[in-house]
Amino acid sequence: MAVGPNEAAPSQGAETHAGAEAHAKGLPQFDTTQWAGQAVWFLIIFGVVLLLMRFVFVPRIGGAIEAREGKITGDIADARRLKDEADVQAQAAAVETAAARARAQKVGAEARAKAQAEIAARLAEEEGKLSATGAVAEAGIAKARDAALANIQGIGAETASAIVAKLTGKAATPAELAAARGN
């Protein structure tokens, strides 16, 4: 059988007719004959997703959120407890520091008083020694002064006698020297 240019082969015509028919109907989503099957599959998939969300994903997310909230709440409670303990320890340390400072000041005052007492005792002892040494020195000075005064009169008499002898050429008598002294 010879096929002419205007004639189509029978198998070729059937394929073209089925393609044209499918093409004529449009998109399968808009084909109302397929809506029932699509709705069933939609409900099945929606149900599976709903069940997965309800029993798997949401509880896991909720559990993670609750666990995180519990951990945060526990951490905050621990932080408050530790802060309270630190405050108590800081107050105790402040009390101990104040007590230690008071003890140190007391010890310092006692040491200062003891040192001042020792200094006063040594000072009194040294003043006693100096007074004794001063009294001995004053006695020595008085003795030396008396001796010097006694010698001065003798030296003065000798000097006056020597001067008179030199000026007059004759020696002065002791009576004349006593009269010159005013005795």
Of 138 and 20, the structure prediction assigns the larger pLDDT to 138
* φ/ψ bin of 26: left (φ > 0), alpha (ψ from -120 to 50), beta (otherwise): left
pLDDT for 1 equals 45
Handedness of CA 81, 85, 86, 88 (dihedral sign): positive
Amino acid at 84: D
Confidence of residue 116 (pLDDT cuts 50, 70, 90): very high
Mean local confidence (pLDDT), 114-135 = 93
> Who has greater pLDDT, 55 or 152?
55
Mean pLDDT of the chain: 84
Listed range (24-28, 98-102, 125-129) with the worst mean pLDDT: 24-28
| pLDDT of res. 21 | 54
pLDDT value at residue 165: 85
Helix, strand and coil content of the chain, in percent to the nearest 5, comes to 90, 0, 10
Read off the pLDDT of each residue in 62-90 and give the average, rounded to a whole number.
94
pLDDT of residue 153: 76
Q: What is the mean pLDDT of residues 40-66?
A: 93
Least confident of 31-35, 46-50, 80-84: 31-35
CA 101, CA 183: separation in Å to the nearest integer?
80
DSSP assignment string, 68-104: HHHHHHHHHHHHHHHHHHHHHHHHHHHHHHHHHHHHH
- Contact predicate 36/28, CB 8 Å: no
Q: pLDDT tens, 4-40? A: 455 554 555 545 555 545 555 678 778 888 888 889 9
How many other C-beta atoms can be found within 10 angstroms of the C-beta atom of residue 177? 17
Looking at residue 183, its pLDDT comes to 58
Residues 9/3, Cβ–Cβ less than 8 Å = yes
